[in-house]
Structure 1
Amino acid sequence: MSEIIVPASAMRSYRRWLPLLVVLTAQLMIILDSSVVNVALPVIQHDLGISQASLTWVINSYLISYGSFLLVAGRLGDLVGRKKVFLSGVALFTAASAACGLAGDQAVLIVARFAQGLGGALASATVLAFIVTDFPQPRERARAMSIYLLVTVGGGSLGLLLGGVLTRALGWHWIFVINIPIGVLALLAGAALITERSGSGLRRGVDAAGAILVTAAALVGIDAIVRASEHGWLSTYTLGLGAVSVTLLGAFGFRESHTPNPLVPPRILRLRSLVGSSAVRAVVMAGMYGVFFFGALYLEEVLGYDAIRTGLAFLPQTLAIAALSFGITTLLVSRFGPKQVLLGGLAVMLSGLLLFAQGGDGEHVHYFPALFVSFTLVGLGAGAAFMPLLTMAVADVAPADAGLASGIVNVSMQISAAVGLAVLGTLSTKRTATLVAEGHTQIAALAGGCRLGLLVGAGCVAFGLLLAAAVLRPGRASAEPVGVPKQLADEAGLAEPSASAP
């Protein structure tokens, strides 16, 4: 019997794509969990007898811990090994999901949600780093990033549908319980398939003070943001916490510029591609999250959709992202370059948001064609824009700093989402109250509030489009494997590498 000979290149590819499937499965679990909870909130409130004020902490406790620990989690992976950090995060997220599913009172649920956020940060902060280090070739990296973005962006709308189905069929506990078998599978597969790459080590010490300062700044700042709608943007609470957060951030910056082993090396902040793309992403994601929030609110409260119909309404957006993620965006980037594809995608996304805002100006709007086309355009725009934006972000990042860069990318998304929803939600609520005071019906006023939120979200995307045109330049990723010179310099023990020319 003749032996089957597998080419070495195919075997190497196989060994890289299977671990990616594992980490993306965990990422999907985390993304789904962040959106399925939104659908189940009314049922959770009734079942556990939670007040409206306390109910917000079911969401906020997760957002605060998740967003606050991303940066430190990413750097920890660079230092001690990303496999260890990833598996620790999945284990904590799975255990916390079990605690959420078994929760019989609000205190247990809120504490378990905080633990979920911490576990999610540890796992998510390493995913992009795996892609950067395991896929150095531009074409393969672009393909891997497309799938990563499909999971990250498309998973949110799938979560709305899944949350509605599970809550109605089995009860709200199952939106957490379903994470247990997925998490266990990801743990076992990750332990077997992911190859540990030694981190840079702790031999020069750990910047514990810097980690504490930046985490505290994020904790305080995000808490101020997510509770601004409750206390008011100009309240003593919000302004006071904002001032504390800025002070802590300033102390962190001073610390990093004077310590020999900083948590965030200055060379990272000199990378124009990373910092510029993070700024663009932050602005655009504020508008993108407005689609989920105001879209779901409009469909359920104005048009009377149930949770399942709302999830189905978002499917064109998810399917459009999926269609572009399997090669089309990669081909477009190869043909026209990442910046041109990014600008085109943002323009398409903007048109979808504007169409949605125009179509969302009443309670008798039909889903076809206006809303269907709106969701499709937003999905096509996101599918075209986010992959080249992510490619440019990591184009000049050395593999040794990939975890930190991953943390910066994720932090820009999470904080912008929190800020965007808080600001847009406040403006929308005030607009709704004004329309009610002017004599409009509650539904008509709510439709007007959603419309304003969508218009402001469209303004965020428009600003992101202008910002991208002004500050972003394609990195070296489009021309050569990324990070090899820096990696060789690091391994040779040369001096700290300087930022590449943008």
Structure 2
Amino acid sequence: MSTLDKESTGGAQAPAADPRRWKALAILAAIQFMLVMDVTIVLVALPEIDKDLTFNPTGDLAWVINGYVLTAGGFLLLGGRLADMYGRRKIFMVGVVCFGVASATCGAAMSSGMLVSSRFVQGLGEALCGPAALGMIPVLFPDAKERMKALGVWGGTAALGGVIGSVVSGALTEYVDWRWIFYINIPIALAALILVPKVMPESRMEREGRSVDVVGAVSITGGLVAVVYGLIKAADHSWGSSTVLLPLLGGIGVLLLAAIWETRISDPMVPIRFFTNRTRVTSNVVTLALLASFHCYAFLLILYMQKVLGYSAIKSGMAVVPLAFAMGAGMGAASALMPRIGVKAVLAIGFGGAAAGLLVASTLEADSSYVGGVLPGMIVFGLFSAMCYPALVNGALYQVTGKDSGLASGVQTAMQQIGGALGLATLVPLAIRYTTDHIGDGVIPTVAQADGASRAFQVGAILVAVAAVLVVVLMQKVDATPRNVLAEAEGEPDAETAQRPAATGVSS
């Protein structure tokens, strides 16, 4: 393998970029699209899966989704740090192999246990390749203006995956077989494995003199798994129940102990200095609000169209196609606006508009039509929420050196997973309880269903509006000043780490 020469760090001139970078980005974006799509693609197919594999009635069917979310959310931070330490391309490919093999066993599942266990492995595959893919972008695009566009493409493509998943799942389940929602991942994974070594350079931290922080890795991963598990159980248990409180409080306690441990060792898995940048912290915190509201909106909208409007699985899947177009427009607008008005301004506009979109969606009633009732909120929320995704990724990687890009990517991706779980654990049960109470009071079920969704959308709008305020008050201006990311990846120390060993060359 050849190694790129270290670039000079003098001046603001960005180093020469890899001519293969846009091809590499296309592969990274395609894989991320597949990873995100695999969360939502299962939702529409669940009834057919249950019919084929005969899950028991105690709630095991939910683990077809929860198993994926649990391992993905719990191991993302570890996956990002492993990518920094052992090579981002290497860990990316290991993750793709893991995901592809698990997709094959999901499709071939002959029992509920085989499917659920394969979904756990799929989630682990995402935890490995997702952060590694995002962590490669600062290395592939050392020029900040190009990097801003590349992160916009990556974040936007990921957001679209969640919407397209419902459409693809409806079509495959209706006209082919539910097993193909998993089999379609295999050719994508194979193509990535063949093409990645040709277009993607390797990069990693220099590990000479460094030790693996086993205690930090185990405690942080264990704490995250416990927190995500608690959020998952909160979807169908009371927040005051031991089933929810024990894993949540236990996980938070373990994470606090891990934070203390990380401050006391010389080579921590997660340097605490990473969380001292308020722009990065704010970007990750508001990601929770956006993903919670988005997952709530997508879930309840499909439910509304099927239960209230009487749509079939395929029709409800096709009915969200305008959401994909609106999100595509929002991502395009964000990519064009970020270099001109900055990440902070785009986020403020995006979160403010998304809150307005949820308020429009909250006007849905039992007798609302698709065009007059569903479509306006879908377009407004889709457009403005999609503007946030590229900007959030840029904010989450703000002032991140090359040696920490995998870690930063793992944190951002973990916040997306946890945010989605939070929405399904809080906002969706809120709607369901509101609906159940109204039906108990004698309200017509379709009216109660619409009212429950409306109430959840209103709470989601408040969450997103608060996030907009946090962005305006706390975030710094994220500019497009060129930085020598390749040199940083090779170990040029920043002001905070001048005394520490640095990272290696970028090889191909």
Category of TM-score, reference length = shorter chain = over 0.9
Farther-moved stretch of structure 1 (219-228 vs 201-210): 201-210
Counterparts of 2:264 and 2:187, CA distance in 1:
46
Amino acid at match of 2:30: T
SS of alignment partner, residue 334 of structure 2: helix
**One of 182, 185, 190 as aligned partner of 1:179:** 185
**One of 409, 412, 417 as aligned partner of 1:409:** 412
Residues 484, 373 of structure 1: alpha-carbon distance in 2 compared, 3 angstrom cutoff: same
Match of 2:504 in 1: none
Counterparts of 1:465 and 1:198, CA distance in 2:
35
SS of alignment partner, residue 197 of structure 1: strand
Match of 1:337 in 2: 342
Counterparts of 1:13 and 1:260, CA distance in 2:
33
**1:240-389 correspondence runs (5 A):** 240-326=246-332, 328-358=333-363, 360-362=364-366, 364-389=367-392
Amino acid at match of 1:349: A
SS of alignment partner, residue 222 of structure 1: helix
Counterparts of 2:272 and 2:315, CA distance in 1:
48
Q: Tell me, yes or no, if structure 1 residue 480 matches structure 2 residue 482.
A: yes
Q: Tell me, yes or no, if structure 1 residue 390 matches structure 2 residue 388.
A: no
Counterparts of 1:434 and 1:368, CA distance in 2:
29
Amino acid at match of 1:361: E
Counterparts of 1:386 and 1:183, CA distance in 2:
24
Q: Cα offset for 1:268? A: 0.6
Q: Cα offset for 1:484? A: 7.1
Summarize deviations over 1:348-372 as a string: whole Å, max 9, x none. 11111111111x222x211113322
Amino acid at match of 2:365: D
Q: Cα offset for 1:51? A: 2.7
SS of alignment partner, residue 136 of structure 1: coil
SS of alignment partner, residue 227 of structure 1: helix
Match of 1:424 in 2: 427
**1:65-76 correspondence runs (5 A):** 65-76=71-82
Match of 2:215 in 1: 209
Amino acid at match of 1:210: G
Task: Check conservation: 1:221, 1:245, Cα contact below 8 A.
Answer: yes
Q: Structure 2 length normalisation: TM-score? A: 0.91
Task: Check conservation: 2:74, 2:224, Cα contact below 8 A.
Answer: yes
Task: Check conservation: 2:33, 2:160, Cα contact below 8 A.
Answer: no
Q: Tell me, yes or no, if structure 1 residue 239 matches structure 2 residue 218.
A: no
Counterparts of 1:413 and 1:482, CA distance in 2:
28
Q: Cα offset for 1:209? A: 1.0
Counterparts of 1:483 and 1:19, CA distance in 2:
17
Q: Cα offset for 1:427? A: 1.1
Q: Cα offset for 1:430? A: 1.1
Summarize deviations over 1:293-345 as a string: whole Å, max 9, x none. 1111111111111222222222222212223434x323322332221221111
Counterparts of 1:198 and 1:216, CA distance in 2:
25
**1:2-81 correspondence runs (5 A):** 14-52=19-57, 53-81=59-87
Q: Tell me, yes or no, if structure 1 residue 142 matches structure 2 residue 148.
A: yes
Amino acid at match of 1:256: E
Q: Cα offset for 1:229? A: 2.8
Counterparts of 1:251 and 1:494, CA distance in 2:
27
Counterparts of 2:454 and 2:383, CA distance in 1:
21
Amino acid at match of 2:442: G
Q: Tell me, yes or no, if structure 1 residue 462 matches structure 2 residue 468.
A: no
Q: Structure 1 length normalisation: TM-score? A: 0.92
Consecutive unaligned residues of structure 1, counting only runs of 5 or more, are 1-8, 498-502
Farther-moved stretch of structure 1 (410-419 vs 59-68): 410-419
Summarize deviations over 1:44-75 as a string: whole Å, max 9, x none. 11111113411011111110000000000001
**1:42-191 correspondence runs (5 A):** 42-52=47-57, 53-191=59-197
Task: Check conservation: 1:79, 1:202, Cα contact below 8 A.
Answer: no
Farther-moved stretch of structure 1 (379-388 vs 118-127): 379-388
Identical columns (%): 32
Task: Check conservation: 1:164, 1:311, Cα contact below 8 A.
Answer: yes
Counterparts of 1:12 and 1:489, CA distance in 2:
17
Q: Cα offset for 1:414? A: 1.0
Counterparts of 1:50 and 1:202, CA distance in 2:
50
Task: Check conservation: 2:358, 2:461, Cα contact below 8 A.
Answer: yes
Counterparts of 2:494 and 2:275, CA distance in 1:
22
Summarize deviations over 1:120-146 as a string: whole Å, max 9, x none. 111111121111221122221121122
Counterparts of 1:177 and 1:37, CA distance in 2:
12
Counterparts of 1:122 and 1:458, CA distance in 2:
33
Q: Cα offset for 1:150? A: 2.0
Q: Cα offset for 1:376? A: 1.2
Match of 2:206 in 1: 200
Counterparts of 1:383 and 1:221, CA distance in 2:
27
Consecutive unaligned residues of structure 2, counting only runs of 5 or more, are 1-13, 502-508
Residues 394, 12 of structure 1: alpha-carbon distance in 2 compared, 3 angstrom cutoff: closer
Cα RMSD (Å): 2.1
Match of 2:5 in 1: none
Summarize deviations over 1:104-130 as a string: whole Å, max 9, x none. 111101100000000011111112111
Counterparts of 2:361 and 2:459, CA distance in 1:
12
- Equivalent pairs, count: 484
**One of 489, 494, 498 as aligned partner of 1:494:** 498
Q: Which has the higher helix share?
A: 1
Amino acid at match of 2:44: V
Farther-moved stretch of structure 1 (196-205 vs 61-70): 196-205
Amino acid at match of 1:192: K
Counterparts of 1:202 and 1:121, CA distance in 2:
26
Counterparts of 1:229 and 1:278, CA distance in 2:
23
Residues 234, 393 of structure 1: alpha-carbon distance in 2 compared, 3 angstrom cutoff: same
Residues 205, 369 of structure 1: alpha-carbon distance in 2 compared, 3 angstrom cutoff: same
Match of 1:440 in 2: 443
Summarize deviations over 1:408-439 as a string: whole Å, max 9, x none. 11111111211121011221121011101110
Structure with higher RCO (Cα < 8 A, 6+ apart): 2
